[in-house]
């Protein structure tokens, strides 16, 4: 199976594996359908004005102020498959995605790696956190247009702000589109487009900022090491 890794919920995912497991059920009851947003057709940098840079500074300050967060999420893949679940975020470096049944997927960022585990086949993959777009939003200090991160497009209108990011000098690897509502300023959605222009969309629901989480949420213990022996 071709295991192309995409960001989902701010984590890298093997798109083919997840698509095979995703449930096409509708969003949770009572969820307001998000406004449809699309990634730009290309990621050539657009000049940023002084007003754009002031807006980026406001977005950075908002994101940098989020040390912990939990939310429900709805994920839609490039084939239209839908999955739901809950995520936990604790900066720097840690995140957990638990997918609702029947999906067997678990994703954990433990500060060093993004760990993908498929319970249905007991298969686990480790990807260095720094090689995924997730690292841009789990950094100790968030910067949207400095260092590795480059904002190539910023747009405003109809109560939305959209910022498209790439890894500096690596536009061919894909892009990350962050969607904020404003006012009040809040991160509501992101879209990850990979090098083959396949896009995964994640929408956040029932967001709660702040709080303390059990550190064990961000530790992955491979269940294969604790499986009962087979046979005699």
Q: Is residue 98 part of a domain?
A: yes
CATH of residue 10: 2.50.20.10
pLDDT tens-digit map of 54-79: 999 999 999 999 999 999 999 999 99
Q: Is residue 42 part of a domain?
A: no
Cis-peptide, bond into residue 38, ω within 30° of zero: no
Arithmetic mean of pLDDT over the chain: 81
Q: State the pLDDT at residue 172.
A: 80
pLDDT tens-digit map of 110-134: 999 999 999 899 899 999 988 777 7
Q: Which residues pair with 12 in a beta bridge?
A: 7
pLDDT tens-digit map of 155-180: 999 899 999 998 888 878 788 899 99
Number of independent structural domains in the chain: 1
Query: Whole domain around residue 201: which residue ranges?
Result: 5-24+49-206
Q: Is residue 213 part of a domain?
A: no
Q: Is residue 91 part of a domain?
A: yes
Q: Is residue 227 part of a domain?
A: no
Residues 84-113 have a mean pLDDT of 95
| Cα(8)–Cα(137) distance, integer angstroms | 13
Q: Is the pTM value of this prediction over 0.85?
A: no
Q: Is residue 101 part of a domain?
A: yes
Q: Is residue 220 part of a domain?
A: no
Q: Is residue 189 part of a domain?
A: yes
C-alpha distance from residue 169 to each of 37, 139, 147, 149 (Å): 25, 19, 11, 9
Burial 185-194 (b: 16+ CB within 10 A, else e): eebbbbbbbb
């Amino acid at each position: 199976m071709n295991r192309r890794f995409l960001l989902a919920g701010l984590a890298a995912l093997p798109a083919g594996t997840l698509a095979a497991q995703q449930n096409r059920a509708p969003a949770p009851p009572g969820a307001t359908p998000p406004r449809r947003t699309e990634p730009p057709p290309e990621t050539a940098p657009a000049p940023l004005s002084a007003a754009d840079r002031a807006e980026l500074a406001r977005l950075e300050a908002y994101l940098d102020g989020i040390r912990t967060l939990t939310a429900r999420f709805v994920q839609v893949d490039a084939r239209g498959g839908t999955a739901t679940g809950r995520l936990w975020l604790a900066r720097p470096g840690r995140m957990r995605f638990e997918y609702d049944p029947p999906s067997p997927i678990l994703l954990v960022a433990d500060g060093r790696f993004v760990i993908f585990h498929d319970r249905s086949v007991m298969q686990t993959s480790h990807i260095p956190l720094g090689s995924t777009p997730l690292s841009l939003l789990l950094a100790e200090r968030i910067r949207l247009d400095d260092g590795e991160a480059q904002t190539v497009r910023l747009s405003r209108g109809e109560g939305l702000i959209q910022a498209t990011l790439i890894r500096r000098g690596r536009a061919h690897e894909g892009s990350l589109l962050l969607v904020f509502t404003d006012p009040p300023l809040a991160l509501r959605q992101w879209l990850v487009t990979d090098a083959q222009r396949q896009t995964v969309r994640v929408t956040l629901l029932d967001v709660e900022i702040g709080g303390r989480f059990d550190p064990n949420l961000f530790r992955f213990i491979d269940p294969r090491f604790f499986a009962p022996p087979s046979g005699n």
